Amino acid sequence: MPHISIRAEPLFRLYGFVVTNTLVTSAIFLLLFFGVAIYYYKQAAQNYGKRSRLFYFIHYVNRTLYNFLSPILGSKMRLVFPFLGALFFFILLQNWFGLLPGVGSIVLHIGEGAQKETVPLLRGNTTDLNTTLALGIFAVMTIQYYGVRFLGSGNYLRKFINIGNPLSFFVGILEIVSEFSKVISFSFRLFGNIFAGEVLLTVIAFLIPIAASFPFLILEIFVGFIQALIFTLLTAVFINSAATETH
Amino acid sequence: MEGLKYDNRSNKNSPYRIISQSFNLGFYLVAPLIIGVLIGLYLDKIFGKKPSFTLIFILFGTIASFYNLLKIVKEER
C-alpha cells in the first residue's frame, strides 16, 4: 500500500527548485486548459453554422453558470462573470483531472537504500494545500478589488479602519480578521474535501480490489463538482456583500 | 477612487446563497480561532512568555468567530 502524505511528494530538483508531483500535474493540466480556452475563443470568433459541437457544449455550461449566479449578483454580474467562470472551470477540471486513471496509480521509486520511497508520478493539483491557498488568496484579493471598485476606496476602507469611536475601531480589526478567515476557510475546505476523496479512493481500492471503488468514484465526481460550485458561489456572495454599503 | 454606479437589485432569497453559506459555515467559524492560536503561539515563541499571548489571542479569536457568525446571521435575515 502506498504511503499517504499530506504534502505533495517531491520528484526531483531543478537547479535547487523542488519539483513536486502536483506541480507536474498542474503543468500538464494548464496546457490542456489553455488549449481548450483558446479553442473556445477561436470558435466564438467564427460565424454561426461553422461552430463545433464542443463549442456549443462549453457555451451551454457557461450560460447555465451565468443564469445560476446572476440572482446573487444582480447587475454586477456583467463585470464579475469572467473571473467567476474562470474560477469555476479551473477548479472543476482540476478536481476531475485528479480522478483520471493514471493520476495517482503510476508510481516511481525514488531514493536509494533505506530512504527508498514509492511516489505517484501525478497527483491531483487541488490535493496540494499550496494550490488551494493560492486560489483562496486570489479570490479574497479579488473580493477586495471589487469592493473598492463598487464602493470607492474611501467608503470601502472605512469598513476596516474607523477611528470614530473605540467600538468601531475594534469592529474594524474584527473585519480584517474576518477577511483572513475567508482565505483559510476557502483553501482548507477545498483541500480537505478533495484530499479526503483521494485517500478514500486509495483505501477502498486496497480493501476490496474489484469494482468496490466505483460508487466512490461517482461520489468523488459529485464532490468535485459541488466544491467547485461552492467556491464560485461563495466568491459571488462575498463580492456581493463587499460591494454593498454597510452601516 | 469613486465607486461605480450600478443597480443594486440582488435577490436575497436565492436558495443557493444559503446552501453555499452552510457548506462554508464550519470552516468560516473556526478559521479566526485558528488564526488567533497561530498568532499567539508565534508571539509566545518570540517573547518567551508562554502561555500568556496564546490565551489572549484565543480569546480574541473566539470574539472574531462570533463576529463572523453575527455577520452571516445579519446577511441571511
User: Does A124 have pLDDT greater than 80?
Assistant: yes
Q: What are the tens digits of pLDDT across the range A37-96?
A: 999 999 888 887 788 888 999 999 999 999 888 888 888 888 899 999 999 999 999 999
Given a contact cutoff of 8 angstroms between Cβ atoms, the answer to whether B42 and A195 are in contact is no
In a domain, A118, yes or no: yes
How many domains, chain B? 1
ipTM: 0.81
In a domain, A5, yes or no: no
User: Does B8 have pLDDT greater than 60?
Assistant: no
In a domain, B37, yes or no: yes
Residue B24: predicted pLDDT: 84
In a domain, A230, yes or no: yes
pLDDT category of residue A102 using cuts at 50, 70 and 90:
confident
In a domain, B2, yes or no: no
Closest of A247, A123, A108 to residue A195, by C-alpha:
A123
Q: What are the tens digits of pLDDT across the range B34-57?
A: 999 999 999 999 988 788 889 999
- Residues of B near A (Cβ–Cβ under 8 Å) read 1-4, 6-11, 14, 16-17, 19-21, 23-24, 27-28, 30-32, 34-36, 60-61, 63-64, 67-68, 71, 75
In a domain, A86, yes or no: yes
A119 to A5, A9, A10, A116, A207: CA distances (angstroms): 10, 7, 9, 10, 20
In a domain, A2, yes or no: no
In a domain, B71, yes or no: yes
Q: Which residues contact A234 (CB under 8 A, 6 or more apart)?
A: A186, B20, B21, B23, B24
How many domains, chain A? 1
A239 to A168, A223, B24: CA distances (angstroms): 22, 24, 15
Q: Which of B14, B19, B35 sits opposite A180 (nearest CB)?
A: B35
Question: What is the domain range of residue B60?
Answer: 30-76
Question: What is the domain range of residue A97?
Answer: 10-242
Q: Chain B residue closest to A182 (CA)? A: B28
In a domain, B19, yes or no: no
Residue A68: predicted pLDDT: 87
> Shortest Cα distance from A176 to chain B (angstroms)?
10
Residue B51 preceded by cis peptide, ω within 30: yes
In a domain, A209, yes or no: yes
Q: Work out the angle at residue B21's Cα, subtended by the Cα atoms of residues B73 and A171, and round it to the nearest 5 degrees.
A: 45
Helix (H, G, I), strand (E, B) or coil at A52: coil
CB contacts, 8 Å: B14 with chain A? 71-72
In a domain, A31, yes or no: yes
List the single best residue of B2, B20, B57 to mutate versus A (max A Cβ within 10 A). B20
A137 close contact with B: CB closer than 8 A: no
Q: Please count the residue pairs, one from chain A and one from chain B, whose beta carbons lie less than 8 angstroms apart.
A: 99
Q: Chain B residue closest to A70 (CA)? A: B10
